[in-house]
Amino acid sequence: MADQDDPQGQSRPTEPSDLKPAPRSGRCHWCGYSLKGLADRGNCPECGTSYAPETAARLQPWPSASKICVRLGWPIAGLMLAGFIGINEGGLLMGLIIGYAMIVAVGFNSYFQVRSMLRRSLPEGIRTQGPVAIWRKIGTTVCVIILLVFVGGPFVFGVGCLILLSNFKWSN
Ligand SMILES: [Zn+2]
């Protein structure tokens, strides 16, 4: 007990677990190297990036598989619901409206959910370089195409129809 109160005892090896609460995940924000057991501040032994408690706490573990399914899957569930409503007597229009809204939601939701999960859990150096960066571009492209087809498409079609109609009236 006496030596626990020793004011000079800071360099003395301490119990690793409970004296100083480690940063929540304790990883290098650039490369993801675990900083557990290292000093509060310093340079990452793996990539040399300097870290502090704030940056070490930035990366959080991935959400559980079920949470990822809920985050990404609710528009799909909504689509199934729309189909279910649509096949019922008199529900076709409502089903189509909900179905359309859910397809648009797939594009928006996937884009923002994936982006926030990557920011939260993937080290910067991995997120911005190499294969992950390529996959992010592919994913973004897919989301943009979905939105272009289902939002931009009908819009252009609608505007086109209006122009054609107004031209038609003009020529008469
Ligand atoms: Zn690092």
* Ligand 1 centroid – CA 72 distance (Å): 30
pLDDT at 162: 87
pLDDT at 118: 92
Q: Which residues contact 147 (CB under 8 A, 6 or more apart)?
A: 104, 107, 108
**DSSP string of 78-115, one letter each residue:** HHHHHHHHHTSTT-HHHHHHHHHHHHHHHHHHHHHHHH
pLDDT at 171: 53
How far is Cα 135 from Cα 129, in angstroms, rounded to an integer? 10
pLDDT at 23: 46
For the chain, 172 residues long, the average pLDDT of each consecutive 10-residue run is: 45 48 72 90 94 91 93 95 92 93 92 93 91 92 90 89 77 52
* Ligand 1 centroid – CA 44 distance (Å): 5
* Ligand 1 centroid – CA 157 distance (Å): 50
Phi, psi of 51 (to 5 degrees): -130, 160
pLDDT at 165: 83
Is 74 buried (19+), middle (13-18) or exposed (0-12) by CB count in 10 A?
middle
- What residues does the ion ligand 1 have nearby, CB within 5 Å? 28, 30-31, 33, 44, 46-47, 49
pLDDT at 3: 45
Residue 117 near residue 150 (C-beta atoms within 8 A): no
**What are the start-end ranges of the H helices in 18-91?**
53-56, 65-86
* Ligand 1 centroid – CA 46 distance (Å): 5
* Ligand 1 centroid – CA 43 distance (Å): 8
Q: What phi-psi label fits residue 48: left (phi over 0), alpha (psi between -120 and 50 degrees) or beta? A: left
